[in-house]
Amino acid sequence: MTATDNPLLNHAYHGGIPDFTAITADHVVPALTTLLQQARTELTQLAKLGPEELPELLDGLEVVGDGLGRAWGVVDHILAVRDSEPMRQAQEALQADVVAFSLEIGQNSDIFRTFTAASAQLETLSAADARTVTQQLLAARLAGVALTGDQKAEFLGIQQQLAELSTTFAHHVLDATKAFALDISDVAETAGWPSSLRQQTAAAWAQAHATADHNWETGPWRVTLDGACVVPVLRNSAHRPLREAVYRAYAARATSGDLDNAPILLMILHLRHRQAQLLGFADYADQSLASKMAPSAGAVVELLEQLRQSSWTAGLQDLEDLRSWARQQGAAEAEALQPWDVGYWAERLREQRYDYNDEALRPYFPLPRVLTGLFALAKDLFGIEVKACTQAVPLWHPDVQYFNITGPLGEPIGSFFLDAYSRPATKRGGAWMNECLGRSAVLGTPGQPRLPVAYLVCNGTPPVAGQPSLMTFGEVETLFHEFGHGLQHMLTRVDRGQVAGISGIEWDAVELPSQFMENWCYHAGTMARICGHWQTGEALPLDIFAKICAARTYRAGSDMLRQVGFALTDWQLHSGTPPETAEAVFDLARQVAMRTAALPPLAGDRSLCAFSHIFGGGYAAGYYSYKWAEVLSADAFGAFEEAGQDDPTAIEEVGLRFRETVLALGGSVPPMDVYVQFRGRPPTVAALLRHAGLKSGPG
């Protein structure tokens, strides 16, 4: 099979954009086998270069893994958005070889010696090249460059096992999510449902039964464990047995039978610990900090404990408020609220306190209008234009859109795919941004670097019944969040691929621009742009917007404690020697919950089996990063607040500074240095607590 025949090898197609219309599982093994052979040949030649040939080595390393990395990235992406058994099998067939090659680069002693020699002359290099050398030396250490003999072989085996286990973990979560479906035909069981949920579940029932004959008002309806269905059910269903059934099913994903992730997560923890010991670290948390912004384990724990103490009293009051409100409404469960009651009564109390219903906001947030407003904000802040591409671009699903970004003079800057809607049968839950193509001078053409392309993936409410996608306010925030990640990837000015965009950025700083963008959802000028009734164009009433802003701190203590609980569980699981049994793992999680959850989890809770962030994703011993970066993002947004958010000149000035530092410098400069360049000082936690309506104090 030639490059012309195999779309995974034909990188000239659409300027390097994958031909998703043509790629099949049959292309994976031939393409990856060819690319691995080429990469190994190129690596052999690069290893012959000495310190005086450092520029050639840096260029060569950027090139050597690009074709392989792009093709493997496409396979991962397709599995996330268009899952199929043949593609899974194709990935599994090559995974061990791809992992082995990545270690071959890091463990190459000749290349390591060249970088070690170059590290003595960093002041003679550009900032990007100096940072790349430093990062390559760290990557080599973490790849086991110092290991020999049996330890080297053991390390390779561990890496391959971890890759396989993490993939299996994620597949189990997706399969368990897909396996559940509850068909409802009794309209009494849908009491409290908003029309959007009825429409969505009626469409799901019709799709499952391959019929166009359905009525969203009379049913039947199909409830699934997709987030776009679970959340509105738990918030709005007045039928308590349904809430309980859905909650229990969601919490029990991947906890039994062939899909049980308990033994897998235990193996992952022990393999990570052994890997860390082989590399000379005390434990996996210690290893994690080697590539993080946080200076020490003490700094991580100190931040989480400060946030826990600042939130504990408020979290207890949140729960008591729900009990009191349920009691006033004569609810039998008021004295013994269960986890499946919290979302329902929290939404009812929100309605009472702030006099608006989250579901009632949906008509004001049609996705096309939200995008128009978001892109207008990006223009004001960063001087860019975002427009839908008018040329044909290969897409993996008809719902996917493709956009181009240009600068003030119309110069191309980057592009992105937007996959906005949930598809529970084939698409992974959650939301994320990932790299399709990265910016690179060496991989571009003379005088023109290769421009970045991003994947922006959400799982928002799909269009139904002839309506556009009508978003919840939470879905709007998620879109802003992922767009922030995309901006850092696409607006980079760094031409060295290894540290351009999100590459080379310490993991606990990477959430800064995403969480920063969420703050704009509470800005009146931005709100006026992103909202408008999908039928009439009517603006969201100002009093409703004021209530949304007031409600921003609603249950802020509970929300903070929830995230701190996740972070502490993750950190403790990876600190010290891992528990010996899966039950001991779950016991540890329950112990953390006793300090971070006003309402303890259910007895026998095993929801860690679906905690993909740390067992199937990149947040292991790093989930604290959300809070670490939220300190940065809140403090960064404070610069705009201080300048005056409604002063166009001030916003343009601060926005340009944010673009030229946080968004432009990528991983070419240490993140604290980048932040100080933007803010003029290190960050403080004050803005985060102020936005959440919390005060520092014991709890």
Angstrom distances, CA of residue 441 to CA of 127, 133, 216, 496: 15, 17, 53, 7
DSSP readout, 225-281? SSHHHHHHHHHH---HHHHHHHHHHHHTTT-SGGG--HHHHHHHHHHHHHHHHHTT-
**Cβ count near 555 (within 10 Å):** 21
Q: Quote the pLDDT of residue 15.
A: 67
In a domain, 607, yes or no: no
Nearest to 23 by CA among 372, 296, 295, 394: 394
Q: Which helix (H) or strand (E) holds 76?
A: helix 66-81
User: In DSSP terms, which residues pair with 421 in a beta bridge?
Assistant: 460
The count of domains in the chain is: 2
To the nearest 10 degrees (0 to 180), the angle between helices 339-354 and 240-251 is: 120
Q: Quote the pLDDT of residue 335.
A: 87
Last residue of a domain, one of 252, 274, 291: 252
Looking at the structure, tell me whether residues 133 and 193 fall in a common domain.
no
Nearest to 374 by CA among 361, 363, 385, 364: 385
Q: Which two tokens stand for residue 328?
A: 């006033």
Is the predicted pLDDT of residue 489 greater than 90, yes or no? yes
Q: Which two tokens stand for residue 64?
A: 């050597």
Phi, psi of 415 (to 5 degrees): -150, 165
DSSP readout, 620-657? TTTTTHHHHHHHHHHHHHHHHHHH-TT-HHHHHHHHHH
Scanning the structure block, which residue is given the tokens 């990149």? 618
Average pLDDT over residues 591-599: 96
Average pLDDT over residues 2-9: 77
Contact 510, 502 (CB under 8 A): yes
Is the predicted pLDDT of residue 694 greater than 90, yes or no? no
Average pLDDT over residues 75-83: 95
Per residue in 636-674, pLDDT (tens digit) is 999 999 999 889 999 999 999 999 999 999 999 999 999
In a domain, 465, yes or no: no
Contacts of 561 (CB under 8 A, 6+ apart): 308, 311, 312, 315, 596, 597, 598
Give the separation between CA 487 and CA 495, rounded to whole angstroms: 16
**Cβ count near 124 (within 10 Å):** 10
Per residue in 57-74, pLDDT (tens digit) is 999 999 998 889 999 999
Q: Which two tokens stand for residue 115?
A: 């970088």
Looking at the structure, tell me whether residues 33 and 97 fall in a common domain.
yes
Give the separation between CA 484 and CA 486, rounded to whole angstroms: 5
Contact 512, 662 (CB under 8 A): yes
In a domain, 79, yes or no: yes
Give the separation between CA 123 and CA 133, rounded to whole angstroms: 12
In a domain, 323, yes or no: no
Looking at the structure, tell me whether residues 52 and 137 fall in a common domain.
yes
Q: Quote the pLDDT of residue 359.
A: 85
Q: Which two tokens stand for residue 330?
A: 């004569």
Last residue of a domain, one of 252, 287, 315: 252
- Domain residues for the domain of 192 are 180-252
Long-range contacts of 596-599 (CB under 8 A, 24+ apart): 596/308, 596/561, 596/562, 596/564, 596/565, 596/568, 597/315, 597/561, 597/562, 597/565, 598/315, 598/316, 598/318, 598/319, 598/558, 598/561, 599/319, 599/337, 599/339, 599/342
Looking at the structure, tell me whether residues 74 and 199 fall in a common domain.
no
Per residue in 383-398, pLDDT (tens digit) is 999 999 999 899 999 9
pLDDT-wise least confident of 174-183, 212-221, 368-377, 483-492: 212-221
Per residue in 164-182, pLDDT (tens digit) is 999 999 999 999 999 999 9
Q: Quote the pLDDT of residue 178.
A: 92
Is the predicted pLDDT of residue 410 greater than 80, yes or no? yes
Contact 152, 144 (CB under 8 A): yes
Looking at the structure, tell me whether residues 44 and 111 fall in a common domain.
yes
Looking at the structure, tell me whether residues 22 and 88 fall in a common domain.
yes
> Helices (DSSP H) in 120-187: which residue ranges?
127-142, 149-179
Task: Give me the amino acid identity at 247.
Answer: Y
Q: Quote the pLDDT of residue 699.
A: 38
Looking at the structure, tell me whether residues 22 and 67 fall in a common domain.
yes
Looking at the structure, tell me whether residues 132 and 194 fall in a common domain.
no
Is the predicted pLDDT of residue 695 greater than 80, yes or no? no
Q: b/e per residue, 528-540, with b = 16+ CB within 10 A?
A: ebbbbebeeeeeb
Q: Which two tokens stand for residue 460?
A: 């928002």
Q: E strands of 422-475, at which residues? A: 432-437, 440-445, 448-450, 453-460
Is the predicted pLDDT of residue 500 greater than 80, yes or no? yes
Q: pLDDT confidence of 696, banded at 50, 70, 90? A: low
| Residues above pLDDT 70, as percent of the chain | 98
Q: Quote the pLDDT of residue 644.
A: 92
Q: Which helix (H) or strand (E) holds 416?
A: strand 412-421
Give the separation between CA 438 and CA 454, rounded to whole angstroms: 8
Q: Quote the pLDDT of residue 698.
A: 40
Per residue in 125-155, pLDDT (tens digit) is 999 999 999 999 999 999 999 999 999 999 9
Looking at the structure, tell me whether residues 96 and 50 fall in a common domain.
yes
In a domain, 641, yes or no: no
For residue 123, indicate whether it is catalytic: no
Q: What is the CATH number of the domain that holds 138?
A: 1.20.1050.40
Q: Quote the pLDDT of residue 4.
A: 63
Looking at the structure, tell me whether residues 72 and 186 fall in a common domain.
no
Q: Which of 482, 506, 511, 630 is catalytic?
A: 482
- DSSP secondary-structure letter at 310? H
In a domain, 228, yes or no: yes
Q: Quick one: the chain helix, strand, coil %, rounded to 5?
A: 60, 10, 30
Looking at the structure, tell me whether residues 197 and 111 fall in a common domain.
no
In a domain, 51, yes or no: yes
Q: What is the pTM of this model?
A: 0.90
In a domain, 33, yes or no: yes
Last residue of a domain, one of 87, 120, 146: 146
Q: pLDDT confidence of 16, banded at 50, 70, 90? A: confident
